């Protein structure tokens, strides 16, 4: 997608995805403006060291929170594309701070939708999670609500802003993800595993950025895009990362699933399969599925189809897992972790 001359905004732009997204855009395109909108002034300071003003005058940074409706209205002036990556995403944190997760993930999404419509933004692409499919924890439930808000926002008929969603699994090396935790725990000689049967969808930061950028070009407004990605057993990740370590089984955390799902069976009749991704179509009356089928060689999924991490046939090889580990260590991705002082510091997934 040609982003030269465009005006882009990314919420949560100092997170793992945001930093990778900003690097990609600034290294491959010449946007008129690329705005980072986030809460943490220290993270913005660190990013500015990597992208100094004299070399990247088109990169702007705004302190703000998606809970602050007025601030969103100010920052969205003149934006062509908004990528919404801001969220409270730690499952245990959301379980014990439910109102805070609701304020950021649901009410923040509503604020962003209103601001985008009133400021006449062209496209909004929101990042979701596999935990939003048949959610069992509060984080997943808040993201499901947000997904519903973004899809429904297309149906008013009184504006031209398009809203779509990208739903994918765990990002290798993102903050709080399992691979950096296992790497950090390796010196203790023991890796803690929640359940030896546990599986997770996985993709790299580069893959997630590539997919998001491609979806900003494909989107018509209302779709949920799901990439085709591998899934792995958490014990296999531990075996490759720390082959010399013993495993301690500690049980699943509150709100945690044994397996994750990207497309539940109840959404199969709405899902179209393409070569490298799926599209879950909205069931709203504004959607004309023929428009999307004309755009590529997609085919409807059969009734009862589901895309789950335990039945997904695409499994990474040990070599692929090792390459993910190398990337985390070499690039320092997700490695800003405290040193574990007690073996139960880590739980898989």
List residues with catalytic annotation.
Answer: 131
Which class for 340: exposed (0-12), middle (13-18), buried (19 or more C-beta within 10 A)?
middle
Spatial CA neighbour of 118 closest among 69, 83, 151: 69
Rg (CA), the chain: 20
- Please identify which residue in the block is written with the tokens 């023929």: 290
| 345 token code pair | 């510091």
Spatial CA neighbour of 204 closest among 335, 327, 346, 27: 327
First to last CA, the chain: 33
Which residues lie below 8 Å from residue 50, measured CB to CB, with a gap of 6+? 23
Spatial CA neighbour of 220 closest among 302, 296, 110: 296
CB atoms within 10 A of CB 100: 13
Which residues lie below 8 Å from residue 196, measured CB to CB, with a gap of 6+? 233, 234, 235, 247, 249
Contact 151, 282 (CB under 8 A): yes
Spatial CA neighbour of 180 closest among 103, 242, 252: 242
Distance of alpha carbon 119 from alpha carbon 296, whole angstroms: 32
How many residues are given for the chain? 349
Contact 85, 11 (CB under 8 A): yes
- Classify 334 in phi/psi space as left (phi over 0), alpha (psi -120 to 50) or beta: left
- Across the chain, where does the E strand assignment appear? 7-11, 33-38, 59-63, 81-84, 123-127, 162-166, 170-172, 190-193, 199-204, 224-227, 231-233, 246-249, 261-263, 271-273, 277-280, 299-300, 307-308
């Amino acid at each position: 997608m040609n982003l030269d001359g465009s005006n882009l905004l990314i919420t949560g732009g100092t997170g793992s995805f945001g930093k990778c997204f900003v690097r990609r855009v600034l290294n491959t395109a010449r946007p008129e403006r690329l705005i980072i909108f986030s809460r943490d002034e220290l993270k913005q300071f660190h990013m500015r060291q990597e992208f100094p003003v004299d070399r990247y005058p088109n990169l702007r940074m705004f302190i703000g929170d998606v809970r602050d409706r007025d601030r969103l209205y100010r920052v969205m002036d003149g934006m062509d594309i908004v990528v919404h990556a801001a969220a409270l995403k730690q499952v245990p944190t959301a379980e014990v701070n439910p109102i805070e997760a609701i304020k950021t993930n649901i009410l923040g999404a509503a604020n962003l939708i209103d601001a985008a419509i009133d400021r006449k933004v062209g496209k909004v692409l929101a990042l979701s999670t596999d935990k939003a499919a048949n959610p069992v924890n509060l984080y997943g439930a808040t993201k499901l609500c947000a997904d519903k808000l973004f899809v429904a926002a297309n149906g008013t008929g009184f504006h031209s802003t398009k809203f779509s969603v990208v739903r994918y699994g765990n990002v290798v090396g993102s903050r709080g993800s399992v691979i950096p935790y296992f790497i950090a725990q390796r010196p203790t000689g023991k890796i803690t595993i929640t359940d030896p049967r546990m599986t997770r969808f996985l993709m790299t930061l580069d893959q997630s950025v590539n997919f998001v950028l491609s979806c900003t070009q494909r989107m018509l407004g209302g779709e949920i895009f799901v990439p085709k990605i591998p899934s792995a057993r958490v014990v296999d990740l531990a075996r490759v990362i720390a082959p010399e370590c013993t495993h301690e089984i500690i049980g699943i955390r509150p709100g945690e699933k044994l397996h994750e799902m990207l497309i539940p069976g109840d959404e199969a009749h709405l899902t179209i399969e393409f070569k490298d991704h799926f599209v879950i179509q909205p069931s709203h009356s504004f959607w004309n599925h023929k428009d999307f089928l004309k755009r590529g060689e997609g085919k409807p999924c059969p009734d009862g189809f589901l895309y789950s991490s335990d039945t997904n046939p695409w499994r990474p090889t040990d070599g692929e897992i090792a390459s993910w580990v190398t990337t985390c260590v070499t690039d320092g991705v997700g490695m800003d972790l405290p040193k574990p002082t007690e073996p139960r510091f880590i739980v898989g997934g």
